[in-house]
């Protein structure tokens, strides 16, 4: 049945996902609108403006490959582009592909309701207005729903208080101030060296140390960009075929099959290449074998003890309760060396937790650390947070939030959930753990083909079958449990399992079986005539 709607496709979110979706939906002639609650394009990169914010991936594969114009005309300036440069890139993409005219900013979605009779979605906005659309697409981001910790007295702090992902656009003057930081995931790790440069006294409250892979941030030269342009497709293919979406050489040997000397030589050379090269290029099994991961852990602990002068501080910075790859590995830019500065103080809150926050600062044990500024880099309600915060109301008046609470986290390949016809997710939960522009682009291209197929074949809606959801839930769990992220007894508490948020069920939020494997599953769905998306 065809009912007239305001739009064919409405996309929520104007970040990487929203821009890719708009371009690809337009290509098949869909009247498409992107809405975003913020007043700028960029999504994650619009809101995350904390000191030190930059990509953890290298410039050559942190971008789209689908536009020849963008590839030819855009030039990156740093190996790990800063947040402001990524934001510029996304604005460049929006201008170059003429996307802006179909993007409505400062337009926040509150509720979207599926009308079974008419087979359309009505999207309701915060200002009371609404629009109808045939296809509703979420590009709301996977790490966008910020969380503050549940610490006594948090609201009573009288100084300046910021979450890393809600950093004021005009910046914050930290010069000479007493600054505190809670949270040492990828965000906090980037904050440390930058705040250390300017703060008067800097108190870093650490509950769980991380295995940080240090790197250097060299300038990107004209020759580098010329090489990238000449090899774009090849580099993109490499990233698309890599389990984590990075254009890196796949490792060939197990950590356990080489001599200790050879192992150390490889660890050392990849450590020197920096960042994700260490995580991805040393050996095949650093993410899947505990013994292998422990050997990498020992190597990094040794590095920490070489870089950090005070060995007691080095001990504190060395993770022991889980091993390397047990949580998302952050890239460091002089992270460990920052702790050699006399005004940077590491406070261990594992042995003695933060008991409360007062008007003046943070209390650990009997000690009150008085602060002018308190930064929370305490993470997100990852993967599902944006989708469950608003009401996405499917068949029978049931929200996605209710479905996942009642049935567990279920979707077909993270693309669609049963009960929500023609509702699609870019980077939905249970999609690959990856350098994200790659699955974003591939996801938009897959959806373009799927919708085109549905229209060509008079299929009124695509909707995951219950069987496909069960299959994908089991496969996601199988793949997750095969990694060092999961092990009884020695497991990191982190967002990919949902256990960074009290009350959130422990379920793999991401697919750990590899981006290239995931893409094969997606291609198989097409080859099978989208059968697993043809419920009813």
Extract the tokens encoding 238.
């490499």
CB-nearer residue toward ligand N01: 26 or 327: 327
What is the rounded CA–CA span in Å between residue 47 and residue 87? Answer: 10
What is the rounded CA–CA span in Å between residue 40 and residue 135? Answer: 24
Least CB distance from residue 380 to ligand N01, whole Å?
6
Estimate the crossing angle of helix 437-456 against helix 232-240, to 10 degrees. 90
CB-nearer residue toward ligand N01: 132 or 500: 500
Least CB distance from residue 486 to ligand N01, whole Å?
16
Least CB distance from residue 207 to ligand N01, whole Å?
3
Identify whether the C-beta of residue 19 lies closer than 8 Å to the C-beta of residue 42: no
CB-nearer residue toward ligand N01: 187 or 519: 187
- DSSP bridge partners of 348: 206
DSSP-derived pairing of the beta strands 109-115 and 391-393: parallel
CB-nearer residue toward ligand N01: 145 or 349: 349
CB-nearer residue toward ligand N01: 25 or 382: 382
Nearest residue by C-beta to ligand N01?
Answer: 185
Estimate the crossing angle of helix 222-230 against helix 232-240, to 10 degrees. 70
Least CB distance from residue 172 to ligand N01, whole Å?
17
Among candidate residues 101, 59, 156, the one with its CA nearest the CA of residue 371: 156
Which of 483-486's residues contact partners 24+ apart within 8 Å by CB, and which partners? 483/287, 483/288, 483/325, 483/512, 484/286, 484/287, 484/288, 484/289, 484/290, 484/293, 484/322, 484/323, 484/324, 484/325, 484/326, 485/287, 485/325, 485/326, 485/327, 485/512
Extract the tokens encoding 3.
């009912």
Least CB distance from residue 17 to ligand N01, whole Å?
15
Least CB distance from residue 500 to ligand N01, whole Å?
5
Task: Give the contacts of 274 (CB within 8 A, at least 6 positions apart).
Answer: 213, 214, 215, 216, 331
Least CB distance from residue 222 to ligand N01, whole Å?
25
Q: How far are the Cα atoms of 16, 192, 338, 339 from residue 427, in angstroms, in the given order?
A: 11, 29, 34, 36
CB-nearer residue toward ligand N01: 183 or 414: 183
Least CB distance from residue 379 to ligand N01, whole Å?
3
Q: 175 φ, ψ to 5°?
A: -60, 125
Q: 370 φ, ψ to 5°?
A: -80, 135
For CA atoms 485, 487, 489, 490, the dihedral sign is negative
Identify whether the C-beta of residue 48 lies closer than 8 Å to the C-beta of residue 97: no
Residues found near ligand N01 in the complex (CB under 6 A): 54-56, 143, 149, 151, 164, 182-188, 190, 207-208, 328, 349, 354, 377-380, 493, 495, 500
Extract the tokens encoding 220.
């990107």
What is the rounded CA–CA span in Å between residue 157 and residue 356? Answer: 10
Least CB distance from residue 376 to ligand N01, whole Å?
8
CB-nearer residue toward ligand N01: 207 or 398: 207
In angstroms, the first-to-last Cα distance of the chain is: 14
CB-nearer residue toward ligand N01: 381 or 463: 381
CB-nearer residue toward ligand N01: 54 or 301: 54
CB-nearer residue toward ligand N01: 143 or 286: 143
Least CB distance from residue 447 to ligand N01, whole Å?
23
């Amino acid at each position: 049945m065809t009912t007239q709607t305001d739009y064919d496709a409405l996309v929520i979110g104007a970040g990487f996902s929203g821009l890719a979706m708009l371009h690809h939906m337009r290509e098949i002639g869909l009247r498409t609108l992107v809405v975003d609650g913020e007043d700028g394009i960029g999504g994650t990169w619009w809101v995350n403006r904390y000191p030190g914010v930059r990509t953890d991936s290298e410039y050559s594969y942190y971008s789209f490959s689908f536009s020849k114009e963008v590839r030819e005309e855009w030039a990156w300036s740093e190996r790990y582009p800063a947040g402001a440069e990524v934001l510029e890139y996304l604005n460049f993409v929006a201008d170059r592909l003429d996307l802006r005219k179909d993007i409505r900013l400062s337009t926040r979605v509150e509720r979207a309701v599926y009308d079974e009779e008419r087979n359309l979605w009505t999207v309701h906005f915060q200002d009371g207005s609404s629009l109808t659309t045939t296809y509703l697409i979420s590009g709301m981001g996977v790490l966008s729903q910020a969380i503050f910790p549940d610490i006594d007295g948090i609201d009573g702090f009288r100084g300046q208080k910021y979450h890393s992902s809600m950093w004021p656009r005009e910046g914050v003057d930290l010069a000479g101030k007493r600054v505190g930081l809670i949270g040492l995931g990828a965000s906090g790790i980037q904050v440390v060296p930058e705040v250390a440069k300017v703060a008067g006294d800097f108190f870093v409250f650490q509950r769980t140390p991380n295995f940080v892979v240090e790197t250097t941030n060299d300038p990107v030269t004209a020759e580098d960009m010329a090489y990238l342009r000449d090899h774009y497709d090849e580099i993109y293919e490499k990233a698309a075929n890599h389990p984590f979406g990075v254009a890196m050489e796949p490792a060939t040997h197990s950590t356990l099959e080489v001599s200790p000397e050879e192992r150390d030589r490889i660890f050392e050379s990849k450590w020197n290449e920096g960042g994700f090269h260490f995580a991805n290029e040393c050996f095949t099994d650093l993410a899947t074998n505990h013994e292998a991961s422990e050997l990498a852990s020992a190597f990094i602990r040794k590095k920490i003890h070489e870089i950090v002068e005070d060995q007691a501080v080095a001990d504190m910075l060395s993770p022991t309760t889980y091993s390397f790859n047990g949580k998302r590995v952050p890239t460091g830019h002089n992270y460990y060396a920052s702790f050699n500065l006399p005004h940077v103080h590491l406070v261990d809150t594992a042995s003695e937790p933060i008991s409360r926050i007062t008007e003046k600062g943070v209390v650990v044990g009997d000690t009150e650390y008085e602060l002018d500024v308190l930064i929370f880099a305490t993470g997100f309600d990852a993967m599902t947070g944006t989708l469950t915060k608003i009401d996405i109301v499917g068949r029978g008046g049931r929200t996605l939030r209710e479905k996942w609470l009642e049935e567990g986290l279920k979707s077909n390949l993270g693309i669609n959930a049963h009960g929500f016809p023609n509702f699609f997710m870019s980077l939905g939960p249970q999609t690959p753990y990856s350098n994200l522009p790659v699955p974003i682009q591939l996801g938009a291209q897959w959806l373009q083909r799927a919708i085109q197929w549905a229209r060509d074949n008079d299929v009124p809606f695509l909707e995951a079958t219950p069987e496909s959801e069960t299959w994908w839930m089991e496969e996601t769990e199988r793949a997750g449990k095969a990694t060092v992220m999961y092990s009884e007894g020695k497991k990191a508490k982190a967002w990919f399992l949902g256990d960074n948020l009290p009350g959130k069920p422990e379920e793999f939020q991401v697919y750990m079986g590899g981006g290239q494997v995931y893409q094969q599953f997606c291609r198989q769905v097409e080859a099978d005539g989208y059968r697993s998306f043809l419920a009813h």
